[in-house]
Amino acid sequence: MLSKISLHYKQSDFPLAQVFRISRGAKTKAEVIEVTLSCAGKVGRAESVPYNRYNETIESVIRQLHNVHNQLNAGIDLQTLLASMSAGSARNALDCAFWDLKAKLAQRSVAALANLEEPADCITAQTLSIDTPEAMAAAAKALDNAPLIKVKLDNQDIAAKIQAIHQASPGSDIIVDANEAWSIEQLVENADVLAKSNVTLIEQPLKAGEDSELLGLELPIALCADESCHTRKDLEYLSGRYQAINIKLDKTGGLTEAIALSKEAKDLGLDIMVGCMVGSSLAMAPAFLLASDAQYVDLDGPLLVAQDREHGFAINKGVMSALNPDLWGGAN
């Protein structure tokens, strides 16, 4: 039985290295919540990213954490509180900080506690935000033959942008992320040319909940559910529509549900992408533990922020370094 756990939380902003554009808009900074849990002289911490698409704001997440703070002070067990919370970034920050705290108290890594393989270096996608075909081609070329490029697209110039990127970086595999911006007609019309341009996966082409036309659809490229997939309860709906899912801890509400979601999805024959919101290495660290069982890793947040946290991930030519235990999840 753990002694009393103290909760502290704060907002932090990480300016981005450059403007980041997706189909829903642009951002110049990552606004995150940092949570620390203290117990018996040990401290666990984590970072989450409230996301407007899921009706979250910095303020709404802080209100949730304030409520948890009060209940902890009233003597309610944190494990009980976590079980009562809905999936989202507030639970994510608490769950991952709790894993970090438990690891330090037990003097074992989170990977060991969760019975997960300690991931080594892995290839991560490197993301191109929306721009003109020429600018996106130049950005792809600057990645110097990256093994895996993730391309954010809206519904404009789909084929032209991908063809330009492929020509600039012909050896790169490409993931296209439409962020719900396409119609079924645009998906079908562009599938062949995208497949010929090394696109291996298309994320969330249609709006979540409006994708019945994907049932039974045969395309030369696999489809990946992102906005449509949060927790295990979504898997029955996704079956027959998608061939892969994007697991993000801010959607699952933490590492605990993410591990369970990954296992059930694999049992159903779905491929796994481990993804992220835009944040620092501290937000990437718990998700990195799922990399060994994932077909696609998309944890390039450290490249998007202008200044990362100490002990963060190094990413060199698309290869992401192993997790530094001094950042998160170590036994110290």
pTM: 0.95
Q: What are phi and psi of 62, to 5 degrees?
A: -60, -40
pLDDT given for residue 331 in this prediction: 87
Residue whose C-alpha is closest to residue 61's, from 69, 50, 71, 52: 50
- CATH domain 122-320 topology: TIM Barrel (3.20.20)
Burial class (CB in 10 A: 0-12, 13-18, 19+), 200: middle
In angstroms, rounded to a whole number, what is the distance separating the alpha carbons of residues 121 and 323?
Answer: 8
pLDDT given for residue 186 in this prediction: 98
Per-residue pLDDT tens for 55-108? 999 999 999 999 999 999 999 999 999 999 999 999 999 999 999 999 999 999
Per-residue pLDDT tens for 159-191? 999 999 999 999 999 999 999 999 999 999 999
Residues found in the chain: 332
DSSP labels, 224-246? EESTT-SSGGGHHHHBTTBSEEE
- CATH 3.20.20.120 maps onto the chain at 122-320
pLDDT given for residue 262 in this prediction: 98
Query: Residue-wise pLDDT tens for the chain (332 aa)?
Result: 467 999 999 999 999 998 888 877 888 999 999 999 999 999 999 999 999 999 999 999 999 999 999 999 999 999 999 999 999 999 999 999 999 999 999 999 999 999 999 888 999 999 999 999 999 999 999 999 999 999 999 999 999 999 999 999 999 999 999 999 999 999 999 999 999 999 999 999 999 999 999 999 999 999 999 999 999 999 999 999 999 999 999 999 999 999 999 999 999 999 999 999 999 999 999 999 999 999 999 999 999 999 999 999 999 999 999 999 999 999 88
The type of residue at 304 is L
- CATH 3.30.390.10 maps onto the chain at 6-108
The type of residue at 147 is P
Out of 3.40.50.300, 3.30.390.10, 3.90.1150.10, 2.60.120.260, the CATH code matching 6-108 is 3.30.390.10
